[in-house]
A and B are shown apart, each in its own frame.
Chain A
Amino acid sequence: MPPDAVITQQTAAEADVCLIVEGGYPYILGGVGSWMDALMRASPQLRFYVISIGIAAQPRVAKYGIAENVVGITDVILDQAPAGYAPRRRDAGLIAHGVRLMQDVLSGAPGGSFEALIDLVRESGLGRAALLDSKPAWTAMERVYRETLANGSLIDFFWTWRFLARSLLAIVTVPLPRASVFHAVSTGYAGLTGAYARHVTGRPCVVTEHGIYTNERRIELSVADWIFDSGAGGFAVGTKPAELREVWLNGFVGFSRVAYAAADLITTQYRANQEYQRADGAPQEKFRIIPNGIDVDVYASVVKSTAPRKPTVLMIGRIVPIKDIRTFITAISLLKPLVPEVVALLIGPEEEDPAYAAGCRALVAQLGLQDTVQFLGRVPDVKAYLGYADVIALSSISEAQPIALLEAAATGLPAVTTDVGSCREIIEGFDGDPVHGRGGYVVAACNPKAMAEALAAILRDPEAGRAMGRVMQQRIPQLYHKERIRRLYEGLYAELAAERPKTVLAPQVVPFMSMPRSGIQAMWHRLTHRVLSNKHTRTGLSARLQPGTPGASGA
């Protein structure tokens, strides 16, 4: 028997904000995890609850120290949806309807299919056993297959459908904590959970996107070797037959549409992201920009080492393919003839993709850079290294608004980055930027020669490097100060918490009580739940964010 789909690690008190994250905090180190950790620590007066979405194979060992103000964590295991009750013969129609709703959600069809699915599952008590494992579910799945991927492999479609539909069921059966605001830290499964919470509790929901979820999935799927591609489309673009990757992609686009439709506000770090959100159906009136924030004072006080040392390039980031560490290493090999004394320090954990990390070490040996490139792993205090570096490099293929770059920039380090996320506006400024001048160079991704030349330009001309560092040091406090960002988020939470809850649904019918679904029991559930939810709306967040406190000043 599979373990429970939901693992709650702490008994939760009522929370002010429930953060919902997919595949990250507190189990995986990374940008979004660090951002969440910083967000919660920045507002100690608020109580946070965390819903962490993952899969069974993901190790669940916390990599972050859990902040004091986190009142509970619930793990949602996507591939272990609850079984629900065993279906009866007369449930066939209901099952077919449920599968149709799941199909609508997974194909991105407009309308309230997701909400209807939530209602169906909650009122009927149907779960995996009925909607995935039963004979009527198989028949309905065959119909979906014929409508979606008639020329594809049924086996491939079956497993794809099974994962996507099972994860949908896992989401719509998550036990929700009592919280004033639900905050999904991406679209995808996190956004879907936010939409679910919005529908069930009537409480407001915010969606924050660092990277654009659908873009990231589209890119992953484009190069995925685990998806069979018939090649039937030849080299024709746009006219190719439906492939399995389209089924996955439509599912993810469908999730985003549900999340955008349900969200009260949609925030992101920089403007370019909003174009993609709009293209995926996000309404303009819900948009807000809140950049990442760092503790500028702490980083500005980092003392630069004046001791004689070799020219040093620093790179901070996980050793994973998306950071394209191999391009950085290749760039250092090309830099070596230009700046023979150069030293490159790589700071970042290697455990997320050990094979890739081993490949990077092998590449260092292959290029004869053992004395030049040093892998330092995870270090206790990155500030110590920022004082000893001359330039920070970032070779990522994809980023949003890298915190490592902001922190290094706040210490006055010039930067060489790839043209990803908002790196260009951090380094070169933007229209209306009060600070003029460049703080480094932006080069094309996957171009080690360009990166090497840009690094050489800074290392060979220390005075120009220092001038760029000064530009960065001036620009960062203007826009990316932690206090400013804290006020923006607290203001946003206060604004949303002040909203009256929308319709609140009756509590979920547990499987063994599924039989009556009839008037009296449903009325009783609704009545009791309404009493509870009325209590719930009198949350303490408003009290903790009275006008006059910094957070209540609005976004």
Chain B
Amino acid sequence: MHVRLEHGPATPATTQAGHAERSVGTAIAALLVLGLLVLDTALFMLFYALCFDVADLLLLHGILCSMAVLSALTLARRIAWLQLIGWTACLGPFGALIGAMLLLPRKADNTDLAEVAAPHPVPSRLTALHTAINDHRLRILGAHASRPLLDIVIEATTAEKLDALSLIAKRYTPALAPALKKALEDTDASVRVLAATVLAQLNNDHTRHIGALQNVTQARPTHASWRALGEARLAYAASGLLDADRAQREADEGRACLARAKRGEAEMARRK
């Protein structure tokens, strides 16, 4: 596809002449706009002095604003000028004042570009972390939302209770036993069912482990196997899963196993 250029590239001389012409035109147009806005302000003052009625005011106001718009269209910063006229059209002299304030040049940016461009030393991860802590900008996401699981089991929604039980199932420690047992009494059947499922699973893990160690001890009783069995029974007793009577019985049996292991070990040491 071929593209034909209508005009050649601008030379520096033609560019300079064009600039001068445009500057003069812009100045005239700007003066015209300002003049019209001054007229509009005067119009409102006359209206205030009761020289004519509202219909006349609105008609003249509309005509002056339209002329101002037409004049502003030729200006370089036409958006800013149109903003000024818009304010004036809506709010009269007060609008003109607001618009004029908005047109005032802002403070020049004195930032040294070279300074901005210069590479800053990147703080180390440790420094950044330290600064963040000092500035209190560091947050542990969601930590403020963490509540004790027992509170959730007592008073939260069903979905939250099920979430809590799921967490208990995965990270069970004896400290979580009260929350688990409380959930067994929940009014919602689905919470009770999940709590019972978790409790049964945890109990099964213990009893299976103890059963396996019992089998080993029966088949080949050694001090180590008695010790392992005793420790497993004590762990079950301390798990918080059993009621007091059963926990006591389990602990007694565990201690008996450990005593047996100790006796055997002592006897072996004496023989040596």
**A residues at B contact (CB < 8 Å):** 212, 215, 218-219, 222-223, 229, 231, 233-240, 272, 276, 321-322, 324, 326-327, 330, 334, 359, 362-363, 365-366, 397-398, 418-421, 444-447, 449
Contacts and interface: CB of A to CB of B under 8 A. Distances in A.
Contact of A327 (B152, B160, B200): B200
Closest 9 CB pairs of A and B: A445-B196, A222-B166, A446-B199, A446-B196, A397-B196, A236-B146, A239-B142, A237-B163, A215-B190
A219 B163 contact: no
Nearest to A218: B162
B211 A446 contact: no
Interface in B164-194: 164-167, 169-171, 184-185, 189-190, 192-194
Interface of B: 142-143, 145-147, 149, 152, 156, 159-160, 162-167, 169-171, 184-185, 189-190, 192-201, 203-204, 207-208, 210-211, 214-215, 243, 245-246
A236 B160 CA distance: 10
Contact of B204 (A218, A219, A222, A359): A359
A493 to B, nearest CB: 30
Nearest to B196: A445
A419 to B, nearest CB: 7
Given A218-B162, A449-B243, A236 B193 contact: no
Contact of B146 (A229, A234, A419, A446): A234
Contacts of B159: 238
Contacts of B146: 234-237
Given A222-B169, A366-B207, A445-B196, A237 B149 contact: yes
Given A222-B197, A238-B156, 6 more contacts: A223-B166, A223-B194, A237-B152, A326-B200, A359-B208, A446-B184
B268 to A, nearest CB: 28
A231 B142 CA distance: 13
A235 B176 CA distance: 12
B193 A420 contact: yes
Nearest to B152: A237
Contacts of A236: 142-143, 145-146
Contacts of A334: 246
Contacts of B149: 235, 237
A411 to B, nearest CB: 27
Nearest to B169: A223
A237 B164 contact: yes
B147 to A, nearest CB: 7
6 contacts: A222-B162, A236-B145, A365-B211, A397-B196, A444-B192, A445-B200
Given A223-B197, A234-B146, A397-B197, A445 B204 contact: no
Contacts of A444: 184-185, 192, 196
Given A235-B146, A239-B145, A229 B170 contact: yes
B204 A237 contact: no
A235 B142 contact: no
A366 B193 contact: no
Contact of A366 (B152, B169, B200, B214): B214
A36 B257 CA distance: 52
Most chain A C-beta atoms within 10 Å of own C-beta, residue among B142, B146, B184, B196: B196
Contacts of B193: 215, 219, 397-398, 420, 445
Contacts of A223: 166, 169, 194, 197-198, 201
A103 to B, nearest CB: 22
B160 A366 contact: no
B237 to A, nearest CB: 15
A240 B162 CA distance: 13
B208 A219 contact: no
B201 to A, nearest CB: 6
A363 B201 CA distance: 14
Nearest to A222: B166
B163 A326 contact: no
Nearest to A279: B158
B200 A321 contact: yes
A219 B194 contact: yes
Contact of B200 (A363, A420, A421, A446): A446
A233 B142 contact: yes
A219 B170 CA distance: 13
A215 B159 CA distance: 11
Contacts of B211: 359, 362-363, 365-366
B144 to A, nearest CB: 9
Given A362-B211, A420-B189, A237 B160 contact: yes
A324 B196 contact: yes
Nearest to B161: A237
A402 to B, nearest CB: 14
Contacts of A447: 184
A480 to B, nearest CB: 20
B230 to A, nearest CB: 15
Given A236-B143, A237-B152, A238-B160, A222 B199 contact: no
Contacts of B200: 321, 324, 326-327, 397, 445-446
B219 to A, nearest CB: 13
Contacts of A418: 196
A397 B171 CA distance: 21
A19 B150 CA distance: 44
B201 A237 contact: no
A322 B165 CA distance: 17
Most chain A C-beta atoms within 10 Å of own C-beta, residue among B170, B185, B245: B170
A219 B161 CA distance: 12
B133 to A, nearest CB: 20
Given A223-B197, A420-B189, A326 B246 contact: no
A324 B197 CA distance: 9
Contacts of A212: 190
A306 B169 CA distance: 47
Nearest to B158: A279
Given A236-B143, A272-B189, A449 B246 contact: yes
Nearest to B148: A235
Given A234-B146, A236-B146, A219 B169 contact: no
Most chain B C-beta atoms within 10 Å of own C-beta, residue among A233, A235, A326, A398: A235
A483 to B, nearest CB: 30
Given A362-B211, A444-B184, A234 B142 contact: yes
A446 B196 CA distance: 6
Most chain A C-beta atoms within 10 Å of own C-beta, residue among B185, B197, B204: B197
Contacts of A272: 189
A283 B199 CA distance: 34
Given A419-B192, A445-B196, A449-B243, A326 B207 contact: yes
Contacts of A363: 207, 211
Contact of B203 (A240, A446, A449): A446
B203 A238 contact: no
B245 to A, nearest CB: 7
